[in-house]
Structure 1
């Protein structure tokens, strides 16, 4: 009887010695892989916060320049070191306080972290308060629509907007706005599908966006592959630049 118990005990000990090292190795490897993944996500988050951020285009408001589902890279360094947004720049900005009312977030901390991590690599849609639009007027500009030929004017000069969606006219909404210093007048390239500065006339800020809410400039289209390209420079985007003289900022 004792011999049988002893055999079972020895067999159990052998099984433990066989299984436990493998389990420990698996756990150790799992921890190492998890640590590496966490480090990669942290580095990508830092990179996207301060250098370049992937951004998923959420709507057709910038078509045909940018289409819903496109992935772009936002240059976070474009407006550092004293540089300011210029007319013609395509920018991503936080619309809180201008396009969106200030409100407390209902997201939990874990979901917020996951969303930010996903948006850092361009895998999930941006926050609902993030917008992508084109800068039409900067601080001090008078932006008017429309002249006798139906064109937007900036400081009395017509804008030749070659980037407009082919089915659109410059605006079906008339406006005459002087942009406050430190703010921007922005519009989508697909004017009939874009909710932009025109829709907020009469609201606090008059539809303009604070410069310090701009996250960066859209410099590269990276997805889908057939449309990969650098975005046109401000000189190319606004053909009226020479007639207006030096661009603000």
Structure 2
């Protein structure tokens, strides 16, 4: 047999090429690496969301302002950072604090029914500051604490707390302290709260005749509004009461 002819007939194409043999494993490795990369990105993203949700639940929660009831202090679209540890270690809300609270039982007698899945997704988005808060959550300023005698309006046309008129520089320009007269004593363990935009705020005044009298239980307070985190141009601490309540005597004490 002519071995040379046999070899010639086989030709170069009959023998495996090294490049082709390597190309297959390379493609498989490349696809596997892409899958692993995407899995890594997804796991990292999921871990970040979990961490943010835990921080939001226990430490600092973003809160999207949905209305103008707290103008000029807080504007529609502002994103608050709410300190959820402010009242966790024995401290309680004070006059002048801006607080976020669950209004169930005070401002809202029964929470609205929602689809469980939709409610869960909305709750996650709200916890990340990407959606408006639940309809039962509110942000207002504390004007009276347990035992306080709060009246509007006094002889000087201002709100009086324990007989002392309060100069509220944070109130929306041109608004009266209140167009609704009231004379109440705040029950212990509750708060009397008002919006800074008095003409555009449904607050404790609007619920005086409801069960609970519009008073917010202290244990329904979610946290204290500390900072405006967004938009960046408005980054600042939330405007305080600027000494408005500094001269107010303690509840139950001698009134001036």
Match of 2:85 among 74, 77, 88: 77
Question: Residue 213 of structure 2 is aligned with which of 206, 216, 224?
Answer: 206
Aligned twin of 1:144: 151
Q: Which residue is equivalent to 1:173? A: 180
CA distance in 2, matches of 1:14, 1:198: 79
Greater shift, 98-107 or 78-87, is seen at 98-107
Q: Which moved more, 1:146-155 or 1:77-86?
A: 146-155
Query: Where do residues 67-216 of structure 1 align in structure 2 (5 Å cutoff)?
Result: 67-103=75-111, 105-109=113-117, 111-216=118-223
Residues 141 and 196 of structure 2 are in contact (CA less than 8 Å); yes or no, is this contact kept in structure 1? Answer: yes
Residue by residue, what CA displacement relative to the aligned partner does 1:201-240 show, whole Å, maximum 9, x if unpaired? 1111100111111110111112222222112445x2x423
- Report how many aligned residue pairs link the two structures: 236
Output the CA distance in 2 between the equivalents of 1:104 and 1:81: 32
Alpha-carbon shift at residue 85 of structure 1 (Å)? 0.3
Match of 1:218 in 2: 225
Contact residue 98 and residue 142 of structure 2 kept, 8 A:
yes
User: Structure 1 residues 14, 112: closer, same or farther in 2, change over 3 A?
Assistant: farther
Structure 1 stretches lacking a partner, 5+ long:
1-6, 8-12
Match of 2:48 among 40, 43, 61: 40
Q: Confirm or deny that 1:239 pairs with 2:244.
A: yes
Task: Name the stretch that deviates more: 126-135 or 113-122.
Answer: 113-122
Structure 1 residues 176 and 243, CA gap change in structure 2 (3 angstroms):
closer
Q: What TM-score, normalized to structure 1? A: 0.85
- TM-score w.r.t. length of structure 2: 0.83
Do the aligned residues in 1 keep the contact of 2:73 with 2:239 (CA within 8 Å)? no
In 1, Cα distance between the equivalents of 2:177 and 2:240? Answer: 20
Hey, what's the Cα distance between the residues in 1 that align with 2:240 and 2:70?
A: 16
More displaced, 99-108 or 70-79? Answer: 99-108
Q: CA deviation at 1:115?
A: 2.4
Match for residue 10 of structure 2?
Answer: none
RMSD after superposition:
2.6
Q: CA deviation at 1:98?
A: 1.1
Match of 1:65 in 2: 73
1:114/1:19 CA distance change after superposition, 3 Å: farther
Residue ranges of structure 2 left out of the alignment (5+ in a row)? 1-13, 15-20, 252-256
